[in-house]
Structure 1
């Protein structure tokens, strides 16, 4: 036999080979089929001596014993892991039984034509009865096996030293999944001993054999009854207020409190116990989930070429992750920081390999270089550009305002000019709430960037827009990592002022809303994300202290005073701006007289800023930034005291 034919037959045989571990099931299936045949005749003829009734029809009666086992092998029933049997396995089993008995019936019809032995007068109803009995016996045996194995895999409180007796908060779909997965995998270290749920209809019912004790107020009773040491919040759609109440209640009872991720993080729709984690400050600040219009977002991303500047940063990298999931034709990540670029390339390069048809590229370039931006846009020819590259740290830009101008203002103009030249269809600026009535150099540079976007949109008539929002939790240099570092050193925590507040949003939520806002086709719009209510920084500090297992009075807080360029409270709008609700929940449209600034006035001021920044004339830079603050809105207050501060 030719070698290639032998290899082909070998691969074919291997694909149909039933796994040796299925040999016991194979024997069981043969016995179950034989029993089904006998019982079907007994039921059909209502006789205790079924064998006597089978005698005349024996060749046809035994046909399922010859047909069903090969059908089960071919349809892969012995290659499945029945310990984890689910609806998919039930469908496969039903299909195999149906195909098997369908084949038997076809053979019966064919042999009946020739009047072969056993076929004349054979009662057709027996096939139907046999099929139901076979499905019940073959399927029932497998699911009984699963139940036995799961029971052996689960264990009561205290029977496994590595398992923590756990009460699950949430007896819904997620809670049931947690219990099921925990029972299958003892190595996960979860021994589910009970449930609590806010639905009064579930009180005292049982889920996987464990009692639902009631709502959160019944947690103390549940702990006394079960000796639980851990509370697991299994409600991915829970608000921050609900998570906070559960955390505080559990902590007061001496429980370790853990949670499943919020729904936004469960992108795959699957829950793995590895994703169960300790409660974080992001969980305490969760907001009610906003329904994202996936169709609107995918409408301009799917199949498009997308470029993200600053793609190695906190916002930029999350933009890349979510964009990649929407199926672009090409994703280009641009950053001037080689380590950040290498990190995102290592992460998303592997991910894009599994995304059919997505071309993933990285570009090492600086938005400050007009030539580099011209080349990058001309070579990549993107359909959509997200401009996230910026200097964002207020104290740093306050100290070096010329650098802020070169990156945030000149960099934005360089990217916009390249986009205009190559007729890029859509441009999105990532802006900030600090651009509103700015008292810092960083805020003033971002306000100037907004003016540039509006001016460019007016020239081109294309949907070039800006999206403005507040602080994001977990970004580099934000207050949360700073507090965590200080807690790791034993304190104290440093806060500028007891009354200081900030708007907060998770990075994932902010990026989702950015993508949705960018689906607008209106040129020159400024959008603001609905940030909810501002958060007192001292309250945030207390939350982090509690999450670390300490009491707030155990960790000192030192108030250092507001730094140059900082203020007590941020705002998302100017006083003279008005807002309109868009069709997208969580996204507002801003209307402002400042948007009417003439493009020529904007370009003139940018030229002056560029010259002053290139010459490192700090005093001139600050004065010009004050003019940028007033641009297009003469009624605005002078403000910007820090930008007009002392020259360095």
Structure 2
């Protein structure tokens, strides 16, 4: 039986939806009509049933069971209202990817179900592109981890500002190859260079910096999977701490103008190896800022929705597959941001840094994970009672609530719209101690590595559950 379907929007995106469904006999949808605020829209023989304000009335009168949201640029408040109505009537709700994603074939799914990106109700952080264009024109920019979810989005955002050269540095050749191909289609003014390299290899990094002389470095390469790093302490230190040291040292040597390191709220009062290794990386960056002409700064993220390692896509997959949703604790809450928001924050931070800052996006209040799960259930059209939720217990080092700043990081003030800033001032003597660990950790037992890591960031490694 065909699902009675309503398309919201009548522009190019809606045309794309209509022709896709018409061509694919396996898609089980019958287009009943469209809603659009413009009286001029035409979609083949499909009737316009009214303005967006008629959504609730149309769902009832036309016995609609599926809604396709085909206005990628719709304002946040209108989008939220539409999704709330769809949620109320338990519509199967799908949204169209951004048109540029379709044209670049980045988004292989024709339509995606409403999912993790739609749980944030606040307006997204927007980048001051004019400021960025003025800053990066005629400059060479290097991005580590350029094939990852955050690094690749940073490159996309930067391409809109037409830098002279983008150096894509990454360890995985497949992901670097893919982002290189995608960026080549975006503009032909920017030279794009792919460098396969491991940030643990200081000599290779020196070769790259010597050849390309980057003006700005965005350091997005990191191990960030919390449970895996608990079992792989050596690699957490090697990649997150020693890799950052290598990059910071070489950036200093080659007189890079600005260096932005991406960190995490798990580095605040860390209780996990991953968080502790990122806290050490933060200290390294701040200590190099004290002795270098390069402007070093840190950007801390909350949970980035849809990034590799994010748990929310797992929830969504479990719901869609009728599997039990696994959550560690019913009171768990987190700060959330989207991949584009995270990437824009990194770029904006590089525009306004004076060196030494810790930048954090004002993400509003933290969101309860249970509320996220319920919203995902509602937006897939299922009944909450039909989805089993299993509480599996807090993992070692996991916190119920994350924090954004350490207590001694002064001035949690807003210096730019939606950007908070704090400053930490580690002692110069810490640099020697960190350097000693990075030179000797391979000779230690795992227990001693962990102890020393936490000692050097003045945290208690014995915490198991918070």
Q: Normalised by the shorter chain, which TM-score bucket?
A: 0.7 to 0.9
The counterpart of 1:294, out of the listed 129, 132, 138, is: 129
Separation in 1, partners of 2:195, 2:330: 44
* Structure 1 residue 249 corresponds to structure 2 residue 249: no
Structure with greater helix share of residues: 1
Alignment CA distance shift 1:512-1:227 (3 Å): same
Q: CA deviation at 1:590?
A: 0.7
The counterpart of 1:380, out of the listed 212, 215, 228, is: 212
> Partner residue of 1:417?
249
Secondary structure of residue in 2 paired with 1:505: strand
> Partner residue of 2:120?
285
Alignment CA distance shift 1:224-1:483 (3 Å): closer
Q: CA deviation at 1:463?
A: 1.8
Q: CA deviation at 1:598?
A: 2.7
The question of whether the paired residues in 1 share the 8 Å contact of 2:90 and 2:381 is answered with no
> Partner residue of 1:641?
462
> Partner residue of 1:556?
388
Separation in 2, partners of 1:532, 1:510: 14
Alignment CA distance shift 1:557-1:214 (3 Å): closer
* Structure 1 residue 223 corresponds to structure 2 residue 59: yes
* Structure 1 residue 434 corresponds to structure 2 residue 266: yes
The question of whether the paired residues in 1 share the 8 Å contact of 2:218 and 2:261 is answered with yes
* Structure 1 residue 597 corresponds to structure 2 residue 426: yes
Q: Deviations over 1:158-188 (max 9, x none)?
A: xxx98955253xxxxx655666777899837
Q: CA deviation at 1:375?
A: 1.9
Alignment CA distance shift 1:564-1:386 (3 Å): same
TM-score, normalised by the number of residues in structure 1:
0.63
Q: 1:122-201 maps to which residues of 2 (within 5 A)?
A: 165-166=5-6, 168=8, 175=10, 187=22, 191=31, 193=33, 195=35
Secondary structure of residue in 1 paired with 2:323: coil
Alignment CA distance shift 1:214-1:470 (3 Å): closer
The question of whether the paired residues in 2 share the 8 Å contact of 1:194 and 1:226 is answered with no
Q: 1:518-557 maps to which residues of 2 (within 5 A)?
A: 518-557=350-389
> Partner residue of 1:513?
345
* Structure 1 residue 464 corresponds to structure 2 residue 296: yes
Q: Deviations over 1:306-341 (max 9, x none)?
A: 11111122211222222233212221111223xxx3
Secondary structure of residue in 1 paired with 2:402: coil
The question of whether the paired residues in 2 share the 8 Å contact of 1:472 and 1:505 is answered with yes
Alignment CA distance shift 1:276-1:458 (3 Å): same
* Structure 1 residue 351 corresponds to structure 2 residue 176: no
Equivalent residue pairs, number: 451
Secondary structure of residue in 2 paired with 1:423: coil
> Partner residue of 1:115?
none
The question of whether the paired residues in 2 share the 8 Å contact of 1:239 and 1:286 is answered with no
Structure with greater strand share of residues: 2
Separation in 1, partners of 2:21, 2:451: 66
The counterpart of 1:610, out of the listed 412, 422, 438, is: 438
> Partner residue of 1:48?
none
The counterpart of 1:324, out of the listed 151, 159, 176, is: 159
The question of whether the paired residues in 1 share the 8 Å contact of 2:197 and 2:204 is answered with yes
> Partner residue of 2:138?
303
The question of whether the paired residues in 2 share the 8 Å contact of 1:471 and 1:503 is answered with yes
Alignment CA distance shift 1:276-1:641 (3 Å): same
Q: Deviations over 1:372-399 (max 9, x none)?
A: 2222222221111111111111112222
The question of whether the paired residues in 1 share the 8 Å contact of 2:7 and 2:70 is answered with no
Q: Mark the runs of 5 or more structure 1 residues left unpaired by the alignment.
A: 1-160, 169-173, 631-637
* Structure 1 residue 625 corresponds to structure 2 residue 457: no
The question of whether the paired residues in 1 share the 8 Å contact of 2:86 and 2:379 is answered with no
TM-score, normalised by the number of residues in structure 2:
0.85
Separation in 2, partners of 1:191, 1:589: 49
Q: CA deviation at 1:238?
A: 5.5
Alignment CA distance shift 1:571-1:267 (3 Å): farther
Pairwise CA RMSD of aligned residues? 3.3
Separation in 1, partners of 2:314, 2:7: 33
Separation in 1, partners of 2:193, 2:249: 22
> Partner residue of 1:503?
335
The counterpart of 1:362, out of the listed 189, 194, 218, is: 194
Secondary structure of residue in 2 paired with 1:590: strand
Structure number with larger C-alpha Rg: 1
* Structure 1 residue 581 corresponds to structure 2 residue 417: no
* Structure 1 residue 567 corresponds to structure 2 residue 399: yes
Alignment CA distance shift 1:178-1:416 (3 Å): closer
Separation in 1, partners of 2:427, 2:62: 71
* Structure 1 residue 210 corresponds to structure 2 residue 31: no
Q: CA deviation at 1:292?
A: 1.8
Q: CA deviation at 1:467?
A: 0.6
Secondary structure of residue in 1 paired with 2:393: coil
Secondary structure of residue in 1 paired with 2:352: coil
Alignment CA distance shift 1:485-1:185 (3 Å): closer
Alignment CA distance shift 1:255-1:610 (3 Å): closer
Separation in 2, partners of 1:487, 1:180: 30
Q: CA deviation at 1:287?
A: 2.6
Separation in 2, partners of 1:333, 1:452: 23
Secondary structure of residue in 2 paired with 1:431: strand
The question of whether the paired residues in 1 share the 8 Å contact of 2:296 and 2:355 is answered with yes
The counterpart of 1:445, out of the listed 268, 271, 277, is: 277
Higher relative contact order by CA 8 Å / sep ≥ 6: 1 or 2? Answer: 2
Secondary structure of residue in 1 paired with 2:351: coil
Alignment CA distance shift 1:177-1:400 (3 Å): closer
Q: Deviations over 1:38-65 (max 9, x none)?
A: xxxxxxxxxxxxxxxxxxxxxxxxxxxx
Q: Mark the runs of 5 or more structure 2 residues left unpaired by the alignment.
A: 24-28
